[in-house]
Amino acid sequence: MGSIVVVGSSNTDMVVKVPRMPRPGETVLGGTFFMAAGGKGANQAVAAARAGGAVTFVACVGADAFGEQAVQGFREDGIDTEYVFTVEEAPSGVALIMVDDGGENSIAVATGANARLRPHHIDQAAAAIASADVLLVQLETPLETVEAAVALAASHGTRVILNPAPARALDDEILQHVSVVTPNRSEAELLTGLTLDHPSRLDDIASALFARGVDVVLVTLGSDGCYVATSDRREQIPAFEVQAEDTTAAGDVFNGALAVALSEAMPLRDAARFASAAAAISVTRRGAQPSAPHREEILQML
């Protein structure tokens, strides 16, 4: 079993199903409302744990019912919560999500306690990061904290997966410590300044990221699968065909499962297919963490 440390956010998702996304100033009467555990970091930690990884999560939650429920959920999934810190000065993060009839979503996030995750918290988790097979990070927590985690992991030879979401510009100082970067289309465009207006542009995007120090580029393309590039191999891996119900957290499930596969030293192509299968299952279900499949389901899909 591979060991994985996830550094990132934890939110409670409040979800409304709508027939279509409202225009500015418009009210659309929705259908089902439900709440589910979410947050990119937490989603990825849960996805990795269910996919078979030994997961430690580093995060901040508020001293409130949402935070208590989140931590209890992590423990039920077998995640080590020693470094999930409770802070008094901010509430737990909350995300407001609309999902339309086509399964597409629109999300607004109140960051809350996630903004309180600081480099000194990374210092407290240093032993876990140093001994892990993989560190998995995203960008819903302060960038200085991500930088500290990535630098610490790199100094100890821990493989770093960066899911650059939500999209933002990044310095080469971060990217040169990253083993695998996993943007979607828009994130790849923002990272490189290139427009992904044709499949051939994927090679240009990969080359641009290699030049900034990344070892492996893996662009997630939704129903078009994923593009995987190394210094000597580039290919597009098709998606598994499913009927999408809710795409919320599909990328997070992909990254969590990818971390597990790479922690187990799967060949990159096999790891990408493992992650793609997990993501495909997730979009057939509602909610973020509730949609993450268990390992036996992923293997059955494969």
Residues annotated catalytic, as ranges:
252
How far is the C-alpha of 226 from the C-alpha of 215, rounded, in Å?
Answer: 17
Q: Coil, strand, or helix at residue 277?
A: helix
Among residues 211, 272, 276, the alpha carbon closest in space to that of 241 is found at: 276
Asked if residue 299 lies in contact with residue 260, where contact means CB atoms within 8 angstroms, the answer is no
Asked if residue 43 lies in contact with residue 256, where contact means CB atoms within 8 angstroms, the answer is yes
Question: What distances in angstroms separate CA 69 from CA 45, 61, 163, one per listed residue?
Answer: 15, 10, 25
Beta bridge partners of 14: 35, 96
The amino acid that residue 262 corresponds to is L
Q: What is the Cβ-side half-sphere exposure of residue 100, based on CA atoms within 13 angstroms?
A: 11
Tokens of residue 12, six digits:
């409670």
Q: Is 57 exposed, middle or buried (0-12, 13-18, 19+ CB in 10 A)?
A: buried
